[in-house]
Structure 1
């Protein structure tokens, strides 16, 4: 049945925006055009505020006075209804990758995704300006912000390089009064900036500082006193320097009433603190599940804390050493009783100055542990093996190389469900002896076949052991082998380590992160480029023999986001071979290679949307570059670069 004729004109059809893709050459930072194509970068929307970005969009008559004075009722514009529905759907989309993809569909999806995003992740604090970020995302509740390049962990980024959090805190305060969580990594944070958090965010709940510097106990005291809803205060591997005479009693600043605290981590805060205040805080924090204390806590004090918090799931033990009082030293059996009562423990760390004689006390909880961190405990194999024999359900293990190959063999025989292993060096110098080798690596590959991530520091390795790892652990996502001596070959055959790393990228089809070292030729990098199609992060140290190595990587690793190179024979030719790929990467760091200012300048000239920072240690050598940091940015060159950083 046809509709009755009407004297009112029919509305024009709603134009459909063209769903074009972002330019392949610059997926994360493409410029917007004036058409209806979807925006493909973090930027302001340049429409006129009508929500569609087009002047010919259909707009219903909301005045209720159509032709003939009809009394039509009000209704919402169809576009607005669709956007409301879309926002409701996007609320359930939590993965950052999915949200980024949704924002590229069209302008309405771009706006809806921005309004419903609750967590803002900035992988490089200089990649976008704070103003631009807060203008796009209006409803953020959590911010994750990263600063210095990762090589700062190895003291390769000069002190004072930058990554100050001050402009971000200044912008976040007015924009996000309902912000609840901040996580900062490798950033410089002052006490004054910490003081802005309770003033700006009355509902603030979680603060995590990872590998940060610049603050003291004065800033921690302000957080403890001012953030009345605080649930998480995690300080992890921060660089903390404060004279004991200036230390503030920050623990006693927490509210005297019952708290909402769920996690308190401060094992990196190396100064003394008020233990009685901590004990009282733990007692009035019924929700506390994670507690990691510093090396000023003895096992006698640890036992008192465990009695106050019997439901802990994660415990950092402090020193794990006795400080006898008037009643004498605590016995192993007394400490064992405390651990036996902690039935919820699944993660154990600390042991910052461990007395191995007390290790039998933790046997009671070992069977329940899924994570064990001995990376600060220089245990011998005789001290380590009796503990690991009880840890049959471990999924994560961090140890020092002092456990030796025999200790790793015990891990392989006991921990068949292990997913992550990290073996750190006690002595990280190039000429150190090292206590683990290819023998330990091969044992792990044979016993821990569900392994997904491994970081392994050693001095001696063979291709056979690495090949065995690739065949026995094909589900590896992360393989980081750090042979600390320069250009070390296969310790048995004397051959380059090409075939070992080649097997890793061929057999581990899901590999996303790879670190290579040892004597490697261009052949190894040809393997990586040919088979490492999912690799996102690649770290290279003391490897390669020509610029072809970099060319293989750039041309083959199409998903590469982060590339770090140090002490390798790569020069301007290798750098320039990446010109077609830099826009797709988050950053590229080169340290102590063979770069010149001219080569770096050529990159800056040909790629104006990249920031090219060069640093020189020896001012006498005018044309050499000691460090190069190249990254894409929507904000352009930063304004806080120190004098030793030259932005080309």
Structure 2
């Protein structure tokens, strides 16, 4: 007891400054959560210093609550529709509207630099509000698998990247050295104000007599450390806190013997060091080092006061550096992958190329967006830092000039090939950038595969999911790629292809094997993955961390092999296809047990089998040996409610559970949800359902939302061919601090106790 008390006293003896400094190095949300539970003071420090938050479902909290809890967020990831929506299993009108969140972001999140939306409904009006309020601050905008927007919204994003917004306009020329120091100091303050977002707008210096910050006008004596604004500002204290550390860093970095600068630096240290109250606020500005001040003075080595000074005398190199510094806050990452975007206007990418010169990543892979090769060339010319580009369909032969210009490109995905007779020679002209190491080409066939051979040894990531390669083609290409770390293919790779992977790719960390499209005749006779391929893979690729695979056959021995050799496996997903009438070895109880026992690092686990693939005993094994698993998806598993209840006795850290095509009753599902101590989210489709889901109310509790989606009665032809899966009833339940939903459509029935 005494030791426990001592540790508690010592933890409370940590100063706020030291604690905030340490927390700056703590990024894992689970560690952050643990810190916030220590005491009220630690809770408050975590709230002020938290930089990133991921919200797994947008209805689990409210925008206002997030603002109150974490007011200084710099990065936010927000997910809308359940993951099952990617497979068209969730009603289109279920929800996931981003509008309320965007309005809160526009009004309150002044520090936000990165926004990642996933599976949400984003309208053009939402984009307009976002870029108007936060366009000057956003460095990263990702809209993955979103819907509702058009190319008009993208045009707003592209135009918000204009370098003219917030740039310093410097007019007139000669001043003496004393005024020069004041001017440089004022420029620094102007830049900091613009950077922190306290006063937003263009900054102009007119005749060096007035400094204008948006609607605020200051006398020139601001350079004498008179920072009190003319007029009230609710953020004044925060502004002072943000600029203090920056200015001290600026003066410390100047290699100058000028007495004015030296005295000013001492004054800053004496007056402001004592005023520091909150390291959290000061840390917002650590990244700025007063470079504008330095660049304004560096060309005069001796800094003599009698020297006259002309701003036009600054070298072009220094001006470019100043320009790049002011550009720092400009969109660097724009991702639209797999989003549904209406309209065919390609003007947005032209505007992006014209207005943005710092873009590093552009991704509109798997969209219907059109692209003009000349716009990509312009983008490469203006954005010399472009390292990743993933596009929609565009014939690779039109991108010859782009590849010559984009010399820093490291990743390219998309494009397409048109292998008409007589057209193959045009692809021989392609010379990929020298740093390219991540490639995913669409519709590539055997005849075009050779364009990858010259730099195949340098490839770290290869995506062959949307190619026309046979098993033999896969073998020929992969054996030239010894440094692969990420490989994505279809099951046409076959067991023989996996043997080549095991022999060649010793550094492989991630492997995804998707199901091929049988209807298109893309599979060859060897294109099946079974226990033989998985066993070879486990023994050859010891660094494997992620494995998602569709198999035609599987055995307990193959799973045991993975458990023996794949000690780094963190994410395992296996789907057993229904191609073969007979599977060699079912049920897979012992194999699953060996896999989970041997791969102790597994955090995400998915197992989709066929009836009889896993018994109630096997379900119990999953619960018993999934001590660290946080997400589980299972389909066609178990024999009765008894198996699910055995499963629910384990899984102490399980947060998300998804079940499909199972034999469990509503009562058993409700009991399991109550037993799993960490469960935050439950989705079930295909179970023994009652007409109105009454037994689901057994799991009702505080802050627990339950949604019942009745089976469809208007099943269309496509759904019918897939076995009426979409016509089955669904359950969605999740914790929510926001209370009951107010935007449920008719297709969703919220369940609440009477």
Quote the residue 1:498 is aligned against.
589
String of CA shifts for 1:486-529, please: whole Å, max 9, x gaps. Answer: 9x897224x31222212211221222111113211101111111
CA contact (8 A) 1:381 1:403 kept: yes
CA contact (8 A) 1:490 1:496 kept: no
CA-based RMSD: 2.8
Quote the residue 1:367 is aligned against.
457
String of CA shifts for 1:436-480, please: whole Å, max 9, x gaps. Answer: 222222221222122121001123222222222222223221111
Q: Which moved more, 1:128-137 or 1:353-362?
A: 353-362
Which blocks of at least 5 consecutive residues in structure 1 are unaligned? 1-15, 21-37, 39-77
C-alpha distance in structure 2 between counterparts of 1:399 and 1:603, whole Å: 41
Quote the residue 1:639 is aligned against.
742
Q: 1:355 pairs with 409, 429, 445, which one? A: 445
C-alpha distance in structure 2 between counterparts of 1:644 and 1:361, whole Å: 50
Q: Which moved more, 1:626-635 or 1:513-522?
A: 513-522
* Alpha-carbon shift at residue 323 of structure 1 (Å): 8.2
Where in structure 1 do 4 or more consecutive aligned residues deviate above 6 Å?
A: none
Quote the residue 1:279 is aligned against.
377
Pair 1:308 & 2:411 matched: no
C-alpha distance in structure 2 between counterparts of 1:150 and 1:237, whole Å: 14
CA contact (8 A) 1:593 1:626 kept: yes
CA contact (8 A) 2:667 2:696 kept: no
* Alpha-carbon shift at residue 161 of structure 1 (Å): 0.6
Q: 2:39 pairs with 94, 99, 106, which one? A: 106
Q: 1:226 pairs with 147, 150, 160, which one? A: 160
Quote the residue 1:54 is aligned against.
none
C-alpha distance in structure 2 between counterparts of 1:128 and 1:360, whole Å: 51
Quote the residue 1:472 is aligned against.
565
* Alpha-carbon shift at residue 275 of structure 1 (Å): 2.4
Alignment length, in residue pairs?
556
TM-score normalised by length of structure 1 = 0.81
Pair 1:580 & 2:681 matched: no
Pair 1:398 & 2:488 matched: yes
Quote the residue 1:459 is aligned against.
552
Q: What are the within-5 Å matches in structure 2 for residues 81-230 of structure 1?
A: 82-201=15-134, 202-228=136-162, 229-230=330-331
SS in 1 for 2:354: coil
CA contact (8 A) 1:490 1:497 kept: no
C-alpha distance in structure 2 between counterparts of 1:145 and 1:428, whole Å: 36
CA contact (8 A) 2:666 2:688 kept: yes
C-alpha distance in structure 2 between counterparts of 1:471 and 1:428, whole Å: 33
CA contact (8 A) 1:401 1:424 kept: yes
String of CA shifts for 1:378-413, please: whole Å, max 9, x gaps. Answer: 421122111101110111110011222222221111
| 1:537/1:113 CA distance change after superposition, 3 Å | same
CA contact (8 A) 1:471 1:507 kept: yes
* Alpha-carbon shift at residue 427 of structure 1 (Å): 2.8
| 1:261/1:190 CA distance change after superposition, 3 Å | same
Pair 1:523 & 2:457 matched: no
CA contact (8 A) 2:651 2:676 kept: no
C-alpha distance in structure 1 between counterparts of 2:48 and 2:94, whole Å: 34
SS in 2 for 1:556: coil
Quote the residue 2:627 is aligned against.
533
* Alpha-carbon shift at residue 317 of structure 1 (Å): 4.3
Quote the residue 1:43 is aligned against.
none
SS in 1 for 2:336: strand
Q: 1:435 pairs with 510, 523, 528, which one? A: 528
CA contact (8 A) 1:374 1:399 kept: yes
SS in 2 for 1:634: coil
Quote the residue 2:281 is aligned against.
none
C-alpha distance in structure 2 between counterparts of 1:329 and 1:497, whole Å: 48
Q: 1:483 pairs with 569, 573, 576, which one? A: 576
String of CA shifts for 1:572-624, please: whole Å, max 9, x gaps. Answer: 232132253456222011001113312112222xx13200011102479xxx9
C-alpha distance in structure 2 between counterparts of 1:537 and 1:388, whole Å: 32
| 1:192/1:527 CA distance change after superposition, 3 Å | same
* Alpha-carbon shift at residue 84 of structure 1 (Å): 4.3
C-alpha distance in structure 2 between counterparts of 1:257 and 1:184, whole Å: 23
CA contact (8 A) 1:19 1:106 kept: no
Quote the residue 1:557 is aligned against.
651
CA contact (8 A) 2:331 2:356 kept: no
| 1:420/1:625 CA distance change after superposition, 3 Å | closer
| 1:276/1:508 CA distance change after superposition, 3 Å | same
C-alpha distance in structure 1 between counterparts of 2:639 and 2:445, whole Å: 46
Quote the residue 2:505 is aligned against.
415
CA contact (8 A) 2:353 2:382 kept: no
Quote the residue 1:589 is aligned against.
683
Q: Which moved more, 1:522-531 or 1:374-383?
A: 374-383
CA contact (8 A) 1:205 1:227 kept: no
Quote the residue 1:34 is aligned against.
none
C-alpha distance in structure 2 between counterparts of 1:530 and 1:257, whole Å: 56
Quote the residue 2:599 is aligned against.
508
TM-score normalised by length of structure 2 = 0.70
* Alpha-carbon shift at residue 237 of structure 1 (Å): 2.1
C-alpha distance in structure 1 between counterparts of 2:461 and 2:138, whole Å: 29
CA contact (8 A) 1:249 1:273 kept: no
String of CA shifts for 1:116-153, please: whole Å, max 9, x gaps. Answer: 11212212111111111011211111111111111112
Quote the residue 1:334 is aligned against.
429
CA contact (8 A) 1:249 1:274 kept: no
String of CA shifts for 1:275-334, please: whole Å, max 9, x gaps. Answer: 212211111101111111211x21212322111101111111411446899xx6544543
CA contact (8 A) 1:419 1:453 kept: yes
Which blocks of at least 5 consecutive residues in structure 2 are unaligned? 163-329, 715-726
Q: 1:424 pairs with 508, 511, 514, which one? A: 514
C-alpha distance in structure 2 between counterparts of 1:303 and 1:125, whole Å: 43
* Alpha-carbon shift at residue 367 of structure 1 (Å): 1.1
Q: Which moved more, 1:361-370 or 1:313-322?
A: 313-322
Q: What are the within-5 Å matches in structure 2 for residues 16-31 of structure 1?
A: none
Quote the residue 1:251 is aligned against.
349
Q: Which moved more, 1:456-465 or 1:85-94?
A: 85-94
Quote the residue 2:415 is aligned against.
318
